[in-house]
Amino acid sequence: MLSFLIRRLLAGLATLVVALFLMFVLVNAAIDPLSDLRESTAPNKQQLMAERVEMLNLDTNVVIRFFQWFGNVLTGDFGIAWRSMQPVRDLLTHAIGSTLQLVTAATILSLVLGVSVGIVSALRQYSGFDYAIIFLSFLLYSLPSFWVAVLLKQWAAIGFNDFLQDPVIAWSVILGISLVAGLVWSLAVGGRAARRWQVFGISAAATFAMFAYLQLSGWWERPQIGPILLLILGAGSALAISAIFAGLHNRRALYTALTTVAVGLVLYLPMQVVFDSIDVTNLIILVFAVVAVGVGFLIGRLYGGPDWGISARSGAAVAFIMGGLIYIDQVMQVWPPYFRALSGRPIPTFGDRTPNLGGNYWVGVLDAFTHLLLPTVTLVLIAFAAYTRYSRSSMLEVMSQDYIRTARAKGLPERTVVVRHGFRNTLIPLATIVPIDIITLIGGAVITEAVFARPGMGQLFVRSLGDSEIEPVMGYLLITASLAIIANIVADVIYASIDPRIRLDA
């Protein structure tokens, strides 16, 4: 393992240096820092051009300039953007921070939704649900991202902001949404006709009850989770995770999940006091998240049993969800002042923050969430289609293997066959694809960032290239190339951890 990492890192460093040299030469040939002066009518035009040539060291050979730049980078000096006179390090720090927010949210959501829906689609092959997902995935995959972004601006931002002026949904619309939700769930769960009708009725009724609660409680004016929704969502998560991880017949895992929900409910009010009495930062939230996962894991360990590991993992997953719900509830509590500060139109269509907003940590988080909403949905819709297709085809291939038939022949429950034997092997192709996709997004979702005017990595690259600033362009290329090399190494390690047939030290 160690020798593999050393070999790959050395090969990656060599590749990085060669790639940066080639890109420096190509970028230098593509840009012209003197273009504005060549068209100038100033009487001292030649003097201005000579001063800029001296300032940017343009009379030095490009090879020498590359090694000068590379040597400065090794000492931590990324240079200066000569038009704005800002340090490149500061530009990169802000750009990559904005992009990482977008990439993290979009990647997690698209992976969870895409893989889950793709696997269910494969298990329901040739059903109505499968055909619907195939049609939807091909439709989304073929849509240009800029068109999706513009539609979201019009309907999800402007339309929703208009809705919030008078947040009332017609009961006929709620009924229609409930019927569609019931149909989707009945097709996804499958089974005999009686079971499908049962799932349809329960899902439609639950959806109708949820929207009725939102309508009658004035939730749109003052959104919050609160203890009641926390109990409902937590219990539902506990049942779902127990069913997936261990099966509902595993009482220890089920009791672990439900106990974790109860602990979360008990700690709901004390956590409100804690959040109000301390200066909250992202680091503190991360510490709370780690502690929550640890508590859930400990609850599973205390229940014991020969398969305590399954219980511990179930408790940790439920604890993470409960902690996330409490965190979201705390963010929602600052919605009324945020709503008023933005004149009743809280969903923005551009930028990554509201200028001169002010407020505490929670207001900043809510502002970041609202600015992330539209670009994240845009990227999720496109990536969801790809991950759905990958996971569906991979699951179909895995479920036709001999070891799956052997597992079934041994009498193992279908949940065990799918989750323990099928799901893990389904992730093998994704282990190669996902790290590369993440780096591609970090490199800049250029079109999405342009439509929503997010000052991320893609916009930094395009703007610097247009302004003929080679230092920011090379700083961008250095980061993206380095991350691409790391992503390939991480993909190999993940691939080996998922597939025991792969040995890194071979």
The string of DSSP codes covering 103-141 is HHHHHHHHHHHHHHHHHHHHHTTTSHHHHHHHHHHHHHH
| pLDDT value for 21 | 93
Distance (Å, rounded) from C-alpha 418 to C-alpha 421?
6
Q: What is the pLDDT of residue 266?
A: 94
Is residue 156 one of the residues assigned to a domain? Answer: no
Residue 213 lies in a domain: yes
Q: Which residue has the tokens 């093998």?
A: 428
Same domain, 256 and 295: yes
Phi, psi of 401 (to 5 degrees): -80, 160
Are 199 and 254 in a shared domain?
no
Cα–Cα distances in angstroms (integers) from residue 444 to residues 72, 341, 458, in the given order: 25, 31, 4
Residues 203 and 232 in one domain: no
Verify that 229 and 202 share a domain, yes or no.
no
Q: Do 73 and 7 belong to one domain?
A: yes
What lies within 8 Å, CB to CB, of 23 at 6+ separation is: 474, 477, 481
Can you tell me the distance from the alpha carbon of 434 to that of 436, in angstroms, rounded to the nearest whole number?
5
Identify the bridge partners of residue 80 per DSSP, sorted by sequence position: 87
Tell me if 368 is assigned to some domain: no
Whether residues 206 and 294 share a domain: the answer is no
CA gap 47, 45 in Å, rounded: 5
Residues 188, 138: Cα–Cα separation, whole Å? 19
* Tokens representing residue 251 in the block: 């009482």
On whether residue 119 sits in a domain, the answer given is no
**Continuous segment of H or E residues that includes residue 87:** strand 86-87
Which among 286, 307, 332 is the end of a domain?
332
Is the Cβ–Cβ distance between 133 and 187 less than 8 Å?
A: no
Residue 143 maps to a domain: no
Q: Within this chain, do residues 172 and 257 fall inside the same structural domain, yes or no?
A: no
Residue 70 lies in a domain: yes
Regions of the chain where pLDDT drops below 50: none
Encoded amino acid at 355, one letter: P
Task: Answer yes or no: do 211 and 305 share one domain.
Answer: no
- Give 81's strand partners: 86
268 and 185 fall within a common domain: no
pLDDT at 353: 85
> What local confidence, expressed as pLDDT, does residue 309 receive?
85
Same domain as 325, residue 234:
yes
The residue out of 262, 297, 332 marking a domain boundary is: 332
Domain residues for the domain of 210 are 168-217
Q: Does residue 138 lie in a domain region?
A: no
Question: Within a domain: residue 506?
Answer: no
- Domain end, chosen from 289, 311, 332, is at 332
- 19 and 77 part of one domain: yes
Across the chain, how many H-helices and E-strands are there? 23, 2
Structurally, how many domains does the chain consist of? 3
- 200 & 281 share domain: no
